[in-house]
Amino acid sequence: MHRQQNSGGLYKANIQGVGQVKITEISIKNFKGVSNRSFKLNDRFTVFIGNNATGKTTVLDALAVALGSFFLGVGVPARSINWDEVRMVVIDGQQKPQTPVEIKAKGSVNGKELKPWGRSILIKKTTTKDAKPIKDVAQYLLKLSRTPREEREGGAEAIFPVIAYHGTGRLWAEHEAPKYQKQIEGVDRAYINALSAKSSSKGFISWIKTQENSVAKFDRPMERAHLEAFKAAIEGLVIDGRWTNVKYDHKQEVLTGTFVDNSGRTLELSYNQLSDGFRNVIGMIADIAFRCIQLNPHLGRDVVNLTPGVVLIDELDQHLHPNWQKRVVNDLKVAFPNIQFVATTHSPFIVQSLEADELVNLDELELSESPNLLPINKVATQVMGVDGIRSDDFEERVKDATQQLSEIEATNGELSLDDYEKISKALDQIALSETNDPEYKAFLELKEKGRE
């Protein structure tokens, strides 16, 4: 494989190397509340929406089972189908399990279609025989990574995919703090607990502590490059540079950074002192970047940009301000250009940021236009099926106004010029909020300024 030298003495690997895993379709049968459904996935970003109990999290859990099959090839405990996840149906007054439970995935590696793989359960034990296609990919990568470079055919590069699941309990449920040990193979560190819905913040915090100590003592270019990549991922995605100069405070034993509050003041705040929204995003980004570095340290400063993979995120909008919800999808695409994301959300702002083929609506509402071409009110009503977006107070005032106009019409009353102006202005305001035509919107805004 061709290597391109950079100023740091590191090289930029060709991302078309081994390990670029993508899932194109997931099929689910008798898993949790899903009887039998299949979903196609966008190769960059897919967001599932729907009312509560429609199966959004179930789809992510099924994907976790399918992705966990990869771990079978690297000796890491894989996510199986639990017996309590088998769909139950009441028959003759009793709950009866519906088997077989089947989770099947279609996908590709390096752009080439892979034979479908999956897991199933018949009598309380999850089978592994159908996981062979993706398991073989993992075994090949592991063998290649342990082969000295001079012995690799054609200079092949082992690039492992990052695989991770960030569930709704990511801020509150935490794995035990692992002690970072360099002798443990990076593949193990990156994949253990990767598909658990719990948080792994203690893992990346322990790593940055060790990494900064090592850089301070030995100043190895590769370790410094990893630190730079890790911090750049966090600082590049935190909105408007609000948390920068990230470092480990050895006196306080916490991860800290310079925070800019809403009034423009700068404060030194630890990771634990940040708001839930900031910790939510920073925790996800740091965890993904940390796993990229553990899997592919040879990619140096470009490790975050070049590492492929699949990341699952339940309730992407969790604790995020609407301003951040509007841009988080694009921010994740930019921060991790070779990772495929699959997420769920209840946020119309996130839905509005999507292309049509990036959205899967479990309520099966027909999509007339791409969500990113619709105003937010139409996203809520037409795409997400919200019955009404106005408050009860607003609807009551509309009812009163309608009644007054009806009374004028009934008495054949005439409207004054001021009345016409008020009605015209009100109609323009309604049109301005409803339109998705940028030229008409600009016209109405200029018209409104002319009234001032």
Q: What is 297-351 written as a DSSP string?
A: GGGGGGHHHH--EEEEESSTTTT--HHHHTTHHHHHHHHSTTEEEEEE---HHHH
Superfamily of domain 4-219+276-383: P-loop containing nucleotide triphosphate hydrolases (3.40.50.300)
Interval 323-331 mean pLDDT: 91
Q: 279 near 172, Cβ under 8 Å?
A: no
The residue that leads in pLDDT, 335 or 11, is 335
* Residue 3's pLDDT band (cuts 50, 70, 90): very low
Expressed in angstroms, the distance from the first to the final Cα of the chain is 65
The CB density around residue 341, as the number of other CB atoms within 10 Å, is 22
Q: Give 8: exposed, middle or buried? Use CB within 10 Å, 0-12, 13-18, 19+.
A: middle
* Residue 93's pLDDT band (cuts 50, 70, 90): very high
pLDDT surpassing 70 at residue 18: no
Beta pairing, strands 94-97 & 101-109: unpaired
Radius of gyration of the chain (CA): 26
* pLDDT tens-digit map of 370-418: 888 787 878 877 788 777 666 565 566 566 666 666 665 666 566 666 6
CA dihedral (335, 337, 341, 343) in degrees, to 10, reads: 40
Distance of alpha carbon 196 from alpha carbon 287, whole angstroms: 13
CA dihedral (225, 226, 232, 234) in degrees, to 10, reads: -170
pLDDT surpassing 90 at residue 443: no
User: Helix, strand, or coil here: 399?
Assistant: helix
Interval 197-214 mean pLDDT: 84
Both tokens of 93, joined, read 């007054």
Q: How far is CA 96 from CA 57, 82, 86, 413, 444, in A?
A: 23, 16, 10, 70, 61
Q: What is the pLDDT of residue 252?
A: 86
User: Helix, strand, or coil here: 159?
Assistant: coil
Any bridge partners for residue 23, and if so which?
107
The pTM of the full predicted model, rounded to 2 decimals, is 0.81
Average pLDDT over the chain reads 83
Most distant CA pair in the chain, distance: 95
Least confident of 3-7, 201-205, 248-252, 441-445: 3-7
Q: What is the pLDDT of residue 8?
A: 34
Interval 343-353 mean pLDDT: 94
Both tokens of 405, joined, read 């106009």
Distance of alpha carbon 141 from alpha carbon 157, whole angstroms: 9
Least confident of 135-144, 240-249, 274-283, 362-371: 362-371
Distance of alpha carbon 15 from alpha carbon 111, whole angstroms: 11
The residue that leads in pLDDT, 367 or 48, is 48
Q: Residue for token digits 């709950």?
A: 95
**At CA 25, angle to CA 48 and CA 385, rounded to 5?**
25
Q: What is the pLDDT of residue 417?
A: 65
Interval 61-81 mean pLDDT: 94
Q: 258 near 250, Cβ under 8 Å?
A: no
* Residue 240's pLDDT band (cuts 50, 70, 90): low
* Residue 184's pLDDT band (cuts 50, 70, 90): low
Q: What is the pLDDT of residue 27?
A: 98
Distance of alpha carbon 277 from alpha carbon 46, whole angstroms: 21
Distance of alpha carbon 235 from alpha carbon 143, whole angstroms: 35
Domain boundaries, the chain: 4-219+276-383, 392-451
The residue that leads in pLDDT, 246 or 390, is 246
Sign of the torsion angle spanned by Cα atoms 290, 294, 296, 299: positive
Q: What is the pLDDT of residue 22?
A: 96
Distance of alpha carbon 368 from alpha carbon 387, whole angstroms: 18
Q: 69 near 55, Cβ under 8 Å?
A: no
CA dihedral (391, 395, 400, 402) in degrees, to 10, reads: 150
Q: Residue for token digits 């360099």?
A: 182
Any bridge partners for residue 319, and if so which?
none
* pLDDT tens-digit map of 115-157: 999 999 988 778 888 999 999 999 999 999 998 988 888 778 8
Q: What is the pLDDT of residue 451?
A: 60
The residue that leads in pLDDT, 89 or 409, is 89
Distance of alpha carbon 23 from alpha carbon 41, whole angstroms: 7
The residue that leads in pLDDT, 377 or 171, is 377
Q: What is the pLDDT of residue 196?
A: 83
Q: 306 near 11, Cβ under 8 Å?
A: no
Q: What is the pLDDT of residue 379?
A: 80
Annotate 103-119 with b (16+ C-beta within 10 A) or e (fewer). bbbbbebbeeebebbbb
Interval 57-80 mean pLDDT: 94
Distance of alpha carbon 20 from alpha carbon 134, whole angstroms: 12
For the ranges 23-27, 178-182, 199-203, the one whose mean pLDDT is highest: 23-27
Our measurement of the distance from residue 189's CA atom to the centroid of its chain's CA atoms, rounded to an integer in Å, reads 21
Interval 225-233 mean pLDDT: 95
* pLDDT tens-digit map of 154-167: 778 889 999 999 98
pLDDT surpassing 90 at residue 107: yes
pLDDT > 70 fraction of the chain, expressed in percent and rounded? 76
Interval 425-432 mean pLDDT: 64
pLDDT surpassing 90 at residue 37: yes
Q: Residue for token digits 């025989």?
A: 129
